[in-house]
Amino acid sequence: MADQGGSQHGIARTSRVRTEEQKKRDLERIKKYRELEDQVRSHVSRGDYSPSVFQLTSKLLRLNPEYYTIWNTIGWVIMLDGVLEYFSYRHYNTIFHQLLVIVVGHDPARPRVPDSWEECAPDASGVRKDNNIEAATAAAAAAEQQDLSTIKTELNFTIPLLLESPKCYWIWSYRLWILQQAIQRLRSPLARQIWEEELGLASKMLGKDRRNFHAWGYRRHVVAQLESATLQGSSMVEAEFAYTERMINTDLSNFSAWHSRSKLIPRLLEERGADDAARRAFLDEELNKIREALNVGPEDQSLWYYHQFLVLNLVYPDKHPAMTRGLTTQDRVAYLRREVDEIKDLLEDYTDVKLIYEGLFEYTLYLCQLEGRQPDTGERADLVAWLGKLKRLDPMRNGRWADLERELGLKEGGGEE
């Protein structure tokens, strides 16, 4: 199972011996912590989800944000009707807000954690204006304006927190909840504007950590919302494709961006209404692009993975028809032959890069597969030579090279199988 809280990543080992002073301090903290925990539990066991429990759970979460049962308690508080009546929407919002501050508020460099519940109340904060959308006298437009400003304030507030803790599940979850409020409370052009800005945030996060797969997943989610009828959306596949282009131009080694590109292509061509010729031209462009990249960085796995993706399109057109529709087998053989030749040219500049030999080996076998034949004598000699290079350059994977050698009957000195 992927990462768990409680496990240590990247924290330097120290002697685990504590001083008497530290021991004493630990015992005091434990006493406080457990007393607080007992209080929360005694309320919950009585079925008491009153506002005072909020304060206790907030305190407890300030000490231990990973305490999932306490988050659940808060979920219960919010779901119970009585409480929703008690709190206005704005208060309800603020509770989430305060909890959020608490969760991420351990670091002195971060915004200061409020000391009391009152400090978080809308009136005291100064920034947050009272939002009394129920007021019958307020004009609808004014109410919407106010909602908009509240939503924007909340969203802006979390940005520095997210930049600091990009993997904190609760911040993302809070943001999504606010964004959902935008859909429910604002006319769709306004809600749409909010979600469009959210896409900007996803870009900002990915600018900071280009391989963060949580952020890539979040981006896919935001795009899906923006494309939905609820937000009067339409396809964004062109824009997203252009985004992968920008990410790749910034950093050729960003496999996450290449991956995203591979997933967008079928839809992109479909929506362009591309005919066979246009699809072929598209394939040519992709191949040119990745070839140019390989010329500069033949040691980069990310590039080879994308090249493999394109080659697989040629070898298995039934599975990947988007770029290869209308290509005859001869066409595909010609394409593949050209790739093999281009990679052979790389050997002039790079003699010790194992990925080049691996590519040549794999694609030569595909060529034979496409033509429904065994390797000829020249190819066989090449395969043997490349495998020898692979064994020498990449002994870590000798087991794999030995399997290939055996399966293909390439043992030096051995004849045809």
Partner 1 sequence: MPQNFDQLPEELQLATSAHVKYVQSLDTRKDEYDYWLTEHLRLNGLYWGLTSLHLLGRPDALPRAETIDFVLSCQHDSGGFGAAPGHDAHMLSTVSAVQILAMVDAFDELETRGKGKAQVGKYIASLQNPQTGTFAGDEWGEEDTRFLYGAFNALSLLGLLHLVDVEKAINHIAACANFDGGYGVSPGAESHAGQIFTCVAALTIAGRQDLVDKGRLGRWLSERQIAGGGLNGRPEKKEDVCYSWWVLSSLEMIGKTHWIDKDQLIAFILRCQDPERGGISDRPGDMVDVWHTVFGLAGLSLLQYPGLQPVDEVYCMPKSTTARVLGR
The contact set with partner 1 (CB under 8 A) reads 1-14, 16, 18, 23, 26-27, 29-30, 33-34, 41, 63-64, 66-69, 72, 75, 169, 211, 213, 216-217, 220, 253, 255-256, 259-260, 262-263, 300-302, 305, 308-309, 312, 320, 395-400, 403
Distance between CA atoms of residues 96 and 93, nearest Å: 5
| Cβ-based neighbours of 203, under 8 Å, separated by 6 or more | 219, 243
Tell me how far CA of residue 20 lies from CA of 15, 27, 52, 198, in angstroms. Answer: 15, 11, 36, 50
CB of 227 to partner 1, least distance (A): 14
Query: Looking at beta carbons only, is 10 or 189 nearer to partner 1?
Result: 10
| Cβ-based neighbours of 368, under 8 Å, separated by 6 or more | 374, 375, 379
Query: Looking at beta carbons only, is 9 or 112 nearer to partner 1?
Result: 9
**Chain centroid to CA 403:** 35
DSSP state of 60: H
CB of 18 to partner 1, least distance (A): 8
The residue assigned the tokens 């070898």 is 315
Query: Looking at beta carbons only, is 35 or 341 nearer to partner 1?
Result: 35
Q: If we measure between CA atoms, which residue out of 205, 220, 113 comes closest to residue 165?
A: 205
Query: Looking at beta carbons only, is 160 or 217 nearer to partner 1?
Result: 217
Sign of the dihedral defined by the CA atoms of residues 409, 410, 415, 416, in that order:
positive
CB of 408 to partner 1, least distance (A): 13
CB of 253 to partner 1, least distance (A): 6
Instruction: Give Dmax (Cα) for the chain.
Output: 94
Distance between CA atoms of residues 25 and 275, nearest Å: 73
CB of 37 to partner 1, least distance (A): 8
Query: Looking at beta carbons only, is 144 or 394 nearer to partner 1?
Result: 394
Query: Looking at beta carbons only, is 320 or 380 nearer to partner 1?
Result: 320
Query: Looking at beta carbons only, is 6 or 108 nearer to partner 1?
Result: 6
CB of 220 to partner 1, least distance (A): 6
CB of 69 to partner 1, least distance (A): 4
DSSP state of 373: S
Q: If we measure between CA atoms, which residue out of 319, 312, 311 comes closest to residue 340?
A: 311
| Alpha helices in 137-250, H assignment, sequence order | 140-164, 169-185, 188-208, 213-227, 237-250
Query: Looking at beta carbons only, is 86 or 213 nearer to partner 1?
Result: 213
Tell me how far CA of residue 30 lies from CA of 35, 36, 41, 63, 68, in angstroms. Answer: 8, 10, 16, 11, 19
CB of 210 to partner 1, least distance (A): 10
Contact between 57 and 73 under an 8 Å Cβ cutoff? The reply is yes
Query: Looking at beta carbons only, is 26 or 376 nearer to partner 1?
Result: 26
CB of 399 to partner 1, least distance (A): 4
CB of 140 to partner 1, least distance (A): 33
Query: Looking at beta carbons only, is 67 or 89 nearer to partner 1?
Result: 67
Give the SS3 label for residue 11: coil
- Concatenated DSSP letters of 61-86: HHH-TT-HHHHHHHHHHHHSHHHHHH
Tell me how far CA of residue 259 lies from CA of 23, 182, 205, in angstroms. Answer: 50, 31, 18
Distance between CA atoms of residues 94 and 128, nearest Å: 9
